[in-house]
């Protein structure tokens, strides 16, 4: 299972109809709440669907493939 935190910026497999493909994570749990960074619309998506659709996560100034995403040390 991958770990995400509130405030992470991610890209999904398909873009939003407004044309943007970057999303900010607003809430985590069984469901994930995302906000489109283009039109600021908010959606809820199940964690299972989210983990199927996620492609990249922003680390610093660049996007990294989710396969290479490093879990933060606790």
Q: Any bridge partners for residue 9, and if so which?
A: 24
Q: What is the pLDDT of residues 8-17, one digit of tens each?
A: 999 999 888 9
C-alpha count within 13 angstroms, C-beta hemisphere, residue 3: 5
Helices (H) and strands (E) in the chain, counts: 1, 6
pTM of the model: 0.81
Residue 59 token pair: 């680390």
Q: What is the pLDDT of residues 27-72, one digit of tens each?
A: 998 999 999 999 999 999 999 999 899 998 888 888 888 766 666 5
Please say if the pLDDT value at position 74 is more than 90: no
Q: What is the pLDDT of residue 62?
A: 83
């Amino acid at each position: 299972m991958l770990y995400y935190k509130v405030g992470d910026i991610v890209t999904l497999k398909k873009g939003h109809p407004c044309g943007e493909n970057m999303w900010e994570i607003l809430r985590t749990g069984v469901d994930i709440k995302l906000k489109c960074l283009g039109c600021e619309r908010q959606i809820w998506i199940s964690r299972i669907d989210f983990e199927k659709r996620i492609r990249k996560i922003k680390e610093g100034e660049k996007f990294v493939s989710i396969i290479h995403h490093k879990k933060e040390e606790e």
